[in-house]
Structure 1
Amino acid sequence: MTSQDATGDGAADAPAGGNARAAELLAAVRAVESGERSADSFFTDRLRPPARRAPRAPGGPGPVAAAGAGDGEPAPVTVPDAVRAVLARGGAPEALGEQVVAALGEQADEVLAADPWQLLAVPAVRTEQADSFARALLGDTCGPGDERRARALVVRMLERAAARGHTVLEPATLGRALAQHAVPEPDEAVRATVDDGTVLVFEEALDSLDVTDRAAADASEADATGGEGGEGGEGGEEERPVRLLVGLERHALAEESLADALARLAGTVLAGDADAWEAVAAAAPTPSAAELVRATAGHGVVTHSGGEAARAEPAFLAASAGTLGLRAFAVAHGENGRERLARLLPDDGGVAAGTVAGLLTGREGPPRDADGLWELDLLVVCDAAQLGTEEAAALAESLPDGARLVLSGDPHELGPAGPGQVFHDVPAARCCPQVVSRTPDPGPLGELVSGVGAGELLQVEAPDREVVIVPVRDAGEAVHRTVQLVADSVPRAIGVPAGETQVIVPGHDGAAGTRVLNAALKERLNPGPGRFGGFDPGDRVLYSPAPGRGATGTVAAGDDDGLRIELPGRTVAVRPDRVTATVRHGWAVTAHQAAGARWPAVVAVLPGDATDALTREWVYTAFGRAARHLSVVHGAEHALAEAVAGRTAPERTTRLRRLLAQAVAAVRGGTG
């Protein structure tokens, strides 16, 4: 199998707009799709390119953090007058100025004058709005078939696919989406974006895919070709079946860099003192912890999976690092996870706990050396199911040769908010030890959540009201009962105050979504006029400086300079112009926003109008956030059991597992 661009060179080396290169890419796409030539004529295995370091930050020694990994407030954006003028000429609101400059740079006026559809780089802009903007600037010279429009739409579609977790898509998928936007000859438009270097094209040999992937690929091919198979090669030779994938350079580089970095770590680790490792394993609190220690002893990359109770096992490994002569650091997905991880580590300060964002931005963790690499021998990453590709690449590339990386998480949870499925793809590549914890989560809650992970909605005995089902008839009753539970019933009957109870719902919209529930909970728990951008001191909020990165906290104060929010262990100041984009009320959140966190009590709200959003992973994640008590406000009828039994989250389309298998094979074969 190969996972390279259509000329056989690594996609990371492709120049953005080389014409000769683009012509070869286009020829490869057309020839392979038509069956005219064998894929082997264009896609040939090459030695894996040398491992790439992340780009250096200007003026700084360390690699640039993954996009979206930081959690600090960005500097204010200045909108040049020329940008304001071109927006006004096209009929776009002046308020878009900052977002346009952030997306396109200070020369955005020149970019938009040459290609008005680049306005689609601003996520809030709809296609019809960009079309109107283009007509205002270009007049009758533009139309739905304008190649600039198709190019911008392809990029927009790939970015939106990335938000759903995909790092690549099949060309036929993009073609169908373009057709819905009235693009004539949509398949040719996709090929044109390959031709001009806007997107990169990759191929995967179907004979290297597992059964599930092969079935999905066959279905996609049948859809794209009308069910007709390609013809065999000359002389009766059987051609190697392939599927083509297209993606943006950013995501391609992240997956390739991550695969290279993991293969490097796997190939450079030294075994160390076997007796010392065995002594630590013998002192492990559980058999699974001992297995994890022994796996880490001889391998540079290890995965560890399990529930909340199993979290103590990677914590034990990190805490024991000193006796093994290792410099160690442990991180979790967010502030809530960091606090739980810190409670499992000793108080002597030998090993600290941080967050992924804090480590990548330098706010937490060890220093970097002259090459920009962390002075670490062991990095333990908890909540690894929430790792996106870019974050994971930034972590792995920042570890020096010989260091060990342990990825620990719960594979049954919802995946990361951004592109990739690292914690799924790394074990699937079968290139490193996989420790599956046998330490179950205790009590009725542990039994319930474990059953959901296995596809069964169990009726558990809950003598101390650990699990309570509250049936409701409609969304209005769901809102009423949720407020009653948080403000009165749970504090009185369970002893968990309202400030430690988290409401989790399927979505933001709807009659019982987060917006309605947060308004109702604010009115009951902290009424006020919303003097500071809709917020008042004492409001519970979710602070999300970047997609997939959020923490719940409390508004401490507000004034003309913005909001001051108290988060676990620190305080952040949010400028007035950033409040709308980064701060929401946080009494009620979605399961995606809650992933990686845990609270003493959870109220999971399942209104009847949100049953389409329910999957086994959603239910597992929502129910699994409760440490002591779970109330289920249940209006979903049979949809809950049906989701647990057979409705799983859609598979993400990525390249990592094959890239990783190829990179590790190259290292083991002495060609890396």
Structure 2
Amino acid sequence: AALVAAARSLGLRAYAATHSADGRRRFAALLDAAGTGGAAPGDAGAGGSAAVTVGGLLAGAEGPGRDTEGAFALDLLVVLDAPQLDVETAAVLVESLPDGARLVLSGDPGVLWSAGPGRVFADLLAARACPQVASRTPDPGPLGELVSAIGIGELNQVEAPGKEVVIVPVRDAGEAVHRTVQLVVDSVPRAFGIPAEQVQVITPGHGGAAGTRALNAALKERLNPGPGRFGGFDPGDRVVHSPVPGRVTPGRVVKADAEGLHLECAGGAVVVPKERVETAVRHGWALTAHQAVGHRWPAAVVVLPGDAGAALSRPWVYTAFSRAERHLSVVHGVEQTLPRAVAEVPPKPRTTRLPTLLKAQVPPAG
């Protein structure tokens, strides 16, 4: 944010692209705090904000638009949450930059990689083909301490006098679902004043007795019961919309009619045609960590049932635990599997040629 603010103060056309509308909102708030939420040279109207989404930028719906040669009309582009760039999106972004522009990729190398192919950010770091600036400043408080330790392979007990971190042991998946619903509906709102709609449940997978399907069904029954007249959904349901694979936007069902399912996502209206509802919309009280990347919530409940051990890795735990801002509850049924995963299970390898190709571009020392 400081970089974009400084560039704009010099009259440069500087923009920052996030992977979610929530990220765009948060970054815009940082720019406002820096005193530069305004327009850069050539901007006009509502499109003048320096914060955009990657999808909106590429589609031409947000940001500066393109010049006569088809390149973005900008001087500096900062991409936030850069580990979420797959090779195709990264290639299109780079190809769209005009000659002389600067590209800054910013992100946490500890989180889960992109849903699409490749590991662009990790490959760039490994190749050392461009300047790197590392920030070692963790988030403050017990949550920051916990997540920072996980990032280096340690699962430590942290002092949490304000109950910022709570471990809830369970014996089986049925108890995990019961305790999760109890936390979301009653315990967290009562103890911290965080409403249930701002508490996000995160679990390793969609299937199983404590996967997203089972948890969403149990949470819907308590928070918004209904017959699911339109493809299993009712007005008021908390959902996630996936217009394309790997891109998830949280939202809420407004209504359903002949046009399709009407959603409110990130403050905007979205209509999902009836034939697309089954593939593009899921209930959103409970998500996987991959769906939660790029988003943060005041409170998170991470569910680790006994059968989740094989799905756990250090990046998964790091990503899931770091989605919480004020409070984290861990519904814990995996015993010693969790510290073992943090200490010993790295990300699954992805084979790419990008580091080799990048190193070929670096002139030899001297």
> Given the two structures, how large is their TM-score scaled by the length of structure 1?
0.52
Task: Give 2:167's aligned residue.
Answer: 469
Q: 1:663: how far off?
A: 3.4
2:251 is equivalent to residue 553 of structure 1: yes
**Selected match of 1:483 from 167, 176, 181:** 181
Task: Give 2:115's aligned residue.
Answer: 417
**Selected match of 2:293 from 580, 595, 602:** 595
Task: Give 1:335's aligned residue.
Answer: 21
For 2:210 and 2:110, the matched residues in 1 are separated by 26
Q: Given the superposition, is the C-alpha separation of residues 348 and 421 from structure 1 closer, same or farther in structure 2, using an over 3 Å criterion?
A: closer
Note if contact 2:57-2:65 (Cα within 8 Å) is conserved in structure 1.
no
**Aligned ranges 1:220-239 → 2 under 5 Å:** none
Q: 1:337: how far off?
A: 1.4
**Selected match of 1:449 from 147, 154, 159:** 147
Task: Give 1:393's aligned residue.
Answer: 91
Task: Give 2:281's aligned residue.
Answer: 583
Partner amino acid, structure 2, of 1:425: D
2:342 aligned counterpart, secondary structure: helix
Partner amino acid, structure 2, of 1:376: L
For 2:363 and 2:65, the matched residues in 1 are separated by 32
For 2:8 and 2:26, the matched residues in 1 are separated by 21
Note if contact 2:185-2:223 (Cα within 8 Å) is conserved in structure 1.
yes
Task: Give 1:320's aligned residue.
Answer: 6
**Aligned ranges 1:3-42 → 2 under 5 Å:** none
1:337 aligned counterpart, secondary structure: helix
Q: 1:438: how far off?
A: 2.7
**Structure 1 spans left out of the alignment, 5+ residues:** 1-314
Partner amino acid, structure 2, of 1:354: V
Q: Which has the higher contact order (CA 8 A, sep 6+)?
A: 2
**Aligned ranges 1:351-370 → 2 under 5 Å:** 351-370=49-68
Task: Give 1:6's aligned residue.
Answer: none
For 1:367 and 1:592, the matched residues in 2 are separated by 30
**Aligned ranges 1:494-533 → 2 under 5 Å:** 494-533=192-231
Between Structure 1 and Structure 2, the one with more helix by share is 1
1:663 aligned counterpart, secondary structure: coil
2:309 is equivalent to residue 611 of structure 1: yes
Task: Give 2:45's aligned residue.
Answer: none
Task: Give 1:349's aligned residue.
Answer: 38
Q: 1:492: how far off?
A: 0.2
Between Structure 1 and Structure 2, the one with more strand by share is 2
Q: 1:342: how far off?
A: 1.4
Q: 1:357: how far off?
A: 0.7
**Aligned ranges 1:154-233 → 2 under 5 Å:** none
For 1:647 and 1:440, the matched residues in 2 are separated by 22
Higher mean displacement: 411-420 or 321-330? 321-330
Q: 1:665: how far off?
A: 4.2
For 1:604 and 1:348, the matched residues in 2 are separated by 35
Q: 1:439: how far off?
A: 2.1
**Selected match of 2:330 from 632, 639, 645:** 632
Q: 1:495: how far off?
A: 1.1
| CA deviation vs aligned residue, 1:497-531 (integer Å, no higher than 9, x gap) | 10001000000011000000000000000000001
For 1:538 and 1:581, the matched residues in 2 are separated by 20
Note if contact 2:129-2:361 (Cα within 8 Å) is conserved in structure 1.
no
Task: Give 1:430's aligned residue.
Answer: 128
- For the pair shown, the structure with the greater C-alpha radius of gyration is 1
Q: 1:476: how far off?
A: 0.1
Note if contact 1:506-1:610 (Cα within 8 Å) is conserved in structure 2.
yes
1:409 aligned counterpart, secondary structure: coil
| CA deviation vs aligned residue, 1:319-368 (integer Å, no higher than 9, x gap) | 22122331111111112211221111126423521111111111111110
For 2:8 and 2:111, the matched residues in 1 are separated by 32
Note if contact 2:17-2:79 (Cα within 8 Å) is conserved in structure 1.
yes
For 1:569 and 1:537, the matched residues in 2 are separated by 16
Percent of matched pairs sharing the same residue: 67
For 1:649 and 1:431, the matched residues in 2 are separated by 23
Partner amino acid, structure 2, of 1:316: A
Task: Give 2:106's aligned residue.
Answer: 408
For 1:441 and 1:515, the matched residues in 2 are separated by 32
1:344 aligned counterpart, secondary structure: helix
**Selected match of 2:319 from 598, 616, 621:** 621
Partner amino acid, structure 2, of 1:409: G
For 1:374 and 1:348, the matched residues in 2 are separated by 20
Q: 1:664: how far off?
A: 4.4
Q: Given the superposition, is the C-alpha separation of residues 428 and 440 from structure 1 closer, same or farther in structure 2, using an over 3 Å criterion?
A: same
**Selected match of 2:70 from 353, 372, 385:** 372
User: How many residue pairs end up in the alignment?
Assistant: 354
Partner amino acid, structure 1, of 2:201: V
For 1:322 and 1:409, the matched residues in 2 are separated by 21
For 1:320 and 1:463, the matched residues in 2 are separated by 39
Task: Give 2:43's aligned residue.
Answer: none
Q: 1:560: how far off?
A: 2.2
2:235 is equivalent to residue 537 of structure 1: yes
1:463 aligned counterpart, secondary structure: coil
Partner amino acid, structure 1, of 2:30: L
Partner amino acid, structure 2, of 1:331: A
For 1:418 and 1:322, the matched residues in 2 are separated by 32
> Given the two structures, how large is their TM-score scaled by the length of structure 2?
0.94
Note if contact 2:15-2:51 (Cα within 8 Å) is conserved in structure 1.
yes
Task: Give 2:44's aligned residue.
Answer: none
1:519 aligned counterpart, secondary structure: helix
| CA deviation vs aligned residue, 1:228-252 (integer Å, no higher than 9, x gap) | xxxxxxxxxxxxxxxxxxxxxxxxx
| CA deviation vs aligned residue, 1:204-247 (integer Å, no higher than 9, x gap) | xxxxxxxxxxxxxxxxxxxxxxxxxxxxxxxxxxxxxxxxxxxx
For 2:90 and 2:233, the matched residues in 1 are separated by 34
4+ aligned runs moved over 4 Å, structure 1: none
Partner amino acid, structure 1, of 2:323: R
Aligned CA RMSD, in angstroms, stands at 1.4
Partner amino acid, structure 1, of 2:12: L
Note if contact 1:465-1:494 (Cα within 8 Å) is conserved in structure 2.
no
Higher mean displacement: 347-356 or 500-509? 347-356
Q: 1:402: how far off?
A: 0.7
**Aligned ranges 1:233-312 → 2 under 5 Å:** none
For 1:443 and 1:618, the matched residues in 2 are separated by 21
Partner amino acid, structure 2, of 1:369: D
1:573 aligned counterpart, secondary structure: strand
| CA deviation vs aligned residue, 1:82-141 (integer Å, no higher than 9, x gap) | xxxxxxxxxxxxxxxxxxxxxxxxxxxxxxxxxxxxxxxxxxxxxxxxxxxxxxxxxxxx
2:226 aligned counterpart, secondary structure: coil
For 1:633 and 1:487, the matched residues in 2 are separated by 15
Note if contact 1:545-1:582 (Cα within 8 Å) is conserved in structure 2.
yes
1:435 aligned counterpart, secondary structure: coil
